[in-house]
Amino acid sequence: MFAALATLRRTLFTRLMAGIGGLLALGLTTMQTILGAMPSDSLPAITPGESVDSGRWRVAVLAASVTRDKRPDGYRGRSGTKSLVVELDLLNQTSETSNVVSRILAVDPPIAGIEAQPTFYLMRDHSILGALHPGLPERVKVVWAIPEETVPPTTLRLTITGETFKPRDNLLAAPGWFNPKVIGAVSLPLRAEASGDGA
């Protein structure tokens, strides 16, 4: 009888601990969801030109414009579109060459008709950015196509996404950059560039 009671006690204790663990996990997930859904107006404000540590990258947003000029590599873009151009300084802070740059910036709120993914250009040679080597700062232009008829705002607001390095992830126990989240927002005047030789 005592053995049966001991077994019952262990079973109840195990179930109680599993239930508490489940409630803690649910609470953590709920908190992350709430934080992720916070209004973007509550984000830390970043000054144009301010260098921001976003984990994998160090980024400084410098200027923004709308232009009908050719892109840095000479491409004129699709017919019926113009270019939203953001200039920034970018530094790969990791120990490996990386091309994972498309998640760094987002236009917030989005401009009507803006393309989903921008193209990144290296300004030192006007080529499309393939990858950035560690520790070498680069001046970069980020270009989105927007419809010709779209009237952009006078002030552009961009959010910056950061990531966290984990030496061992939970799935494969491998190192990597995880947990992307918006870490701040920068607002800057959106100027209209006169027609010239490039974006």
Measure the CA–CA gap between 159 and 118, rounded to whole angstroms: 14
| Averaged pLDDT score across all residues of the chain | 86
| Least trusted range by pLDDT, from 37-46, 66-75, 131-140, 167-176 | 37-46
Q: Are residues 138 and 110 in the same domain?
A: yes
Q: Are residues 16 and 52 in the same domain?
A: no
Q: Are residues 30 and 78 in the same domain?
A: no
Q: Are residues 9 and 30 in the same domain?
A: yes
Q: Which residues pair with 23 in a beta bridge?
A: none
SS (HEC) of 126-176: CEECCCECECCCEEEEEEEEEECCCCCCCEEEEEEEEEEEECCCCCCCCCE
Query: Is 199 part of any domain?
Result: no
Query: Is 197 part of any domain?
Result: no
pLDDT in tens, 39-79: 556 899 999 999 999 999 999 999 999 999 999 999 999 99
| Least trusted range by pLDDT, from 16-30, 76-90, 172-186 | 16-30
pLDDT in tens, 116-126: 999 999 999 99
When pLDDT is cut at 50, 70 and 90, the band that residue 34 belongs to is very low
Strands (E), the chain: 45-46, 52-53, 57-67, 81-92, 105-107, 119-122, 127-128, 138-147, 155-166, 176-192
Residue 30 has pLDDT above 50, yes or no: no
* Res 157: pLDDT: 98
Q: What is the mean pLDDT of residues 75-92?
A: 96
Q: Are residues 1 and 78 in the same domain?
A: no
Query: Is 165 part of any domain?
Result: yes
Q: What is the CATH number of the domain that holds 170?
A: 2.60.40
Q: Are residues 127 and 53 in the same domain?
A: yes
Domain limits for position 56: 44-192
Q: Are residues 70 and 166 in the same domain?
A: yes
Domain count within the chain: 2
Residue 199 has pLDDT above 50, yes or no: no
* Res 15: pLDDT: 73
Q: What is the mean pLDDT of residues 135-145?
A: 97
Query: Is 118 part of any domain?
Result: yes
Q: What is the mean pLDDT of residues 14-41?
A: 56
Torsion of CA 187, 53, 100, 132, to 10 degrees: 110
